[in-house]
A and B are shown apart, each in its own frame.
Chain A
Amino acid sequence: MAKARPESGFGANAGRESLPETATVVLDAAGIERATRRIAHEILESDPELDDLCLVAIESGGIPVGELIAGHLLELRSREIRLGALDVTLYRDDVIAHGRRPIPRPTRMPFGVGGKRVVLIDDVIFTGRTIRAAMDAAIDFGRPAAIQVATLIDRGHRELPIRVDFVGKNIPTARSQKVVLRRRPEGELEVVVQ
């Protein structure tokens, strides 16, 4: 439905989380480009044909990262890459247990994942709770042969036994800090720490 929401779900998030003054850039547009290209190569190394690959980007920060990785894979293999968008709000443990009510975004999974290799993609991995919710959500679309995780940033502080298979950059952070992928007014992506 064309209202109140920009074309890419990411835009809305970026606006809400603008951190102008004390924010430090930890990964600039070129760094993001390199990191996603490397992740694409690593995905290829473990499955050169990409027959069973399903990229599943997590709303909303995972969407631009998923688009970049899919773009690199397309360049390297010139074949169609499955890319879905998964909103995990309705699977989050804080939503279920504590009644938090964030507004969900539409999930777009135009393919089944039964028997496929699913790579969940997010911008930042922190406690691991989003990935836990995403695994539950992904499994509602079929029984994947495997689920892997790719993130642009791993900032540590895991609260669940979840690991990352493909990581762009590890960044040591304090628990109280915020790490955000955002789009600059000129349109370039960057990761900042506050």
Chain B
Amino acid sequence: MRHLLGIEDLSREQIERILTTADAMLEISQREIKRVPTLRGRTVINVFLESSTRTRVSFEIAAKRLSADAINVSSAGSSLAKAETLTDMALNLAAMNADLLVVRDRTAGVPQMLSERVGVPVVNAGDGCHEHPTQALLDAFTALQSLGSLEGRVVAIVGDIAHSRVARSDIYAFTKLGAEVRVAGPASMIPLEVEALGVKSCRTIEEAFAGADVIVMLRIQRERIEGALFPSLREYSQTFGLDSATLRLAHPGAIVLHPGPINRGVEISPEVADAEPSRILDQVTNGVAVRMAVLYLLTGGGS
């Protein structure tokens, strides 16, 4: 594995190798001295051309806990503002002997394109509506913490499936790990061909939640789509929102995941977001460990 561009490209064994490594990385963040010398002298450049707090900080912390030097580049104030092409910018960063590039862009396929042109490993930190592989890995990791195994477990993903890179990566990750995946959301947000990915498309939240072990609530990207794909947030919340009443439809002991940032009162009610089944903050903690595992494995020279 030289790059991490999407979960679609990974085998189950490769996913498990990353998650097993993350299991060991998790403990490092609980120490008083949260650092190991493994990537001493290596340089990781985070190229974030779309806004992000959580993911960028998570990658930066992951690199630093492994003793790598982490440099952040954002589109504002970068040479992209001077109309340098993305490829030229990436080639220049690689020419400064970067050991790995982490790339987020609002266009699908950018990390893939760069991985073919620059001679260093590339990690996709989210590309348009395509994939967000490290989010799916941390979702699977968090689910495994609670459930032990995903074989035969039911995972319900609710929200804007069509425009969500998290949904796409989660579908690949959870199905490859043996889970049954269901998706639900307003008809305008469910791709027609979604069942070709091996998931069940549900009309209602009741159907999706019945017996579910893991519930993934996606963020409604209100800034982008309100009015276009469903009539109102209020109606969305009443039909597809998660609150303590709808949660009761799921399997007892089911856990709730959300990639963040959450819209309280839209896709998830505050009493669920802050309650026992919620693993939303564990996801953030685990995200650092998963990204440490990815950086560790990809800086090894492809072996």
Contacts and interface: CB of A to CB of B under 8 A. Distances in A.
Interface residues of B, number: 32
A100 B299 CA distance: 9
Interface in A79-135: 87, 89-91, 95-96, 99-101, 103-108
Interface in A1-23: 1-5
Nearest 3 pairs of A and B residues by beta carbon: A101-B300, A104-B24, A2-B148
A151 B122 CA distance: 42
Interface of A: 1-5, 87, 89-91, 95-96, 99-101, 103-108, 136-137, 140-141
B24 A107 contact: yes
A106 B148 CA distance: 16
Nearest to A93: B37
B31 interface: yes
Contacts of B26: 106
B62 to A, nearest CB: 13
Nearest to A136: B37
- Most interface-central of B28, B38, B300 (chain A CB within 10 A): B38
A108 B26 CA distance: 11
Interface in B17-59: 17, 19-21, 23-28, 31-33, 35-40
A3 to B, nearest CB: 6
Contacts of B35: 140
B149 A3 contact: yes
B144 A87 contact: no
B23 A1 contact: yes
B37 A96 contact: yes
B20 A99 contact: no
B16 interface: yes
A95 B296 CA distance: 10
A98 to B, nearest CB: 8
Contact of A105 (B24, B32, B37): B24
B27 A1 contact: no
A3 B15 CA distance: 12
B138 to A, nearest CB: 13
A1 B37 contact: no
Contacts of A106: 23-24, 26-27
Contact of A3 (B16, B25, B36): B16
A87 B37 CA distance: 13
A108 B149 contact: no
A85 B28 CA distance: 13
A90 B28 CA distance: 10
A104 B37 contact: no
B162 to A, nearest CB: 32
A4 B37 contact: no
Contacts of B296: 90, 101
B30 to A, nearest CB: 10
A87 B17 CA distance: 17
Contacts of B300: 99-101
B33 A140 contact: yes
14 contacts: A1-B19, A1-B20, A2-B148, A3-B19, A5-B20, A90-B36, A96-B40, A99-B303, A101-B297, A101-B303, A103-B24, A106-B23, A108-B27, A141-B32
Given A96-B38, A100-B303, A106-B24, A1 B31 contact: no
Interface in B99-147: 141, 144-145
